[in-house]
Each structure stands twice: as structure tokens, then as C-alpha cells.
Structure 1
Amino acid sequence: MKTKKIVLDTEEVELLGEIEAGEWHEKPLDEQELSAYQNHAKYTKALNEKRQTTIRFSVSDLAVLKAKSKELGIGYQNLIQALVHNYVKGDIKLEV
């Protein structure tokens, strides 16, 4: 199993050094900061929600998709999700 090397920026390196040296002390957040972090967390969580949608495929395309998903041992809807996700990330290029 490969382990990814963790790369820290300068602020993170400084913080890690303070923690390891026992020099870091927690500073409580004020209400405004706490509210801002809570809003950021809600927004981030909302980005990961699943939303149902309807899409139409030709019968032949859907048959091929189902056959390929069966070969891979996953559901065809999961295959479609993976394809869309990889396209959005830029891992798959679309030629039209």
C-alpha cells in the first residue's frame, strides 16, 4: 500500500513546530469566528450531498453501459457517477 507524502506549507510547519515544542496554546474562538467556521463547514458538507437527477440515454448506449458495469462488478449508476466525477476532476477528456 502506498502512503502519500504529506506536504506542509510554511504556516503548517511553524504550527507543527510550536505543538511539538509545547509552545502552542489554544485560543478560544469568539462568536463571529465560530459562526464563520460553522458556515464554512455547512457549505462544504452541502457540496458532498447527492442529488437525484434524470437523464435519458439511447437504449443501445444504456445496454452497453450496463454490460460494461457488469464486467466491472459495479452498478451502472455507480459507473455513470464515476465517469461524471472523473470528467469534472479533469481526469477524463471529452472529444465531441
Structure 2
Amino acid sequence: MANKQIVFTDRVVGLSLQNGLVRIDLATIAGPAKTKDGKDGLKMDITHQLVLPVDAFVNGVAMQQQLVKELVARQQKRVAKAKEAKADDKPAADAKA
């Protein structure tokens, strides 16, 4: 069994299709930099390239879309709970006034 290697990335900075393979460039923040128009920005260093067959890439995108749906649902639950808590606190605050 192969050893699992964990790769950290701050950003995906490139995505291309070459010879039936999807290539994803991964980068980490290397420090501050100026953009072409003189604004503050970040210098990114490409550290790894992930290469996948198209079907594996499509499957990965589907998995990411499902995760995004789950994250949105969690956030909606948090917002609803916060609104409930605020509504529950309001009558008590009104009674004190």
C-alpha cells in the first residue's frame, strides 16, 4: 500500500486540459507583492500539480458540489439558530426596560 502524502495549498492557480488529462496547479502564498496596477497583492508560488483523468476530475467536482451544498445548509442552520436565540432574548430584554 502506498503512503498517503498530504499536500497543503492556499489556492488553485491554474487549471488546464492537456492530452485528456486535467492539470491543476496548486500554490502557496510566498509573501506580499504589488499587482501590475500598483495595488497590494500576494505572490503565489506553484508548489504542486495534480494530474487527473477527466472522469476523475468530473467525479471530484461532483463531490465538491455536494460539500458546498452541505456547507450552505450548515450556515443556514446557524443563521436560523442565531435568529431564534435573538428572538428568545428580545422579550426578556423588553421586560427589563
Return the structure number with greater relative CO, CA threshold 8 A, min gap 6: 2
Q: Could you tell me the TM-score, scaled by structure 2's length?
A: 0.29
**Which has the larger helix fraction?**
1
Task: Give the TM-score, by structure 1 length.
Answer: 0.29
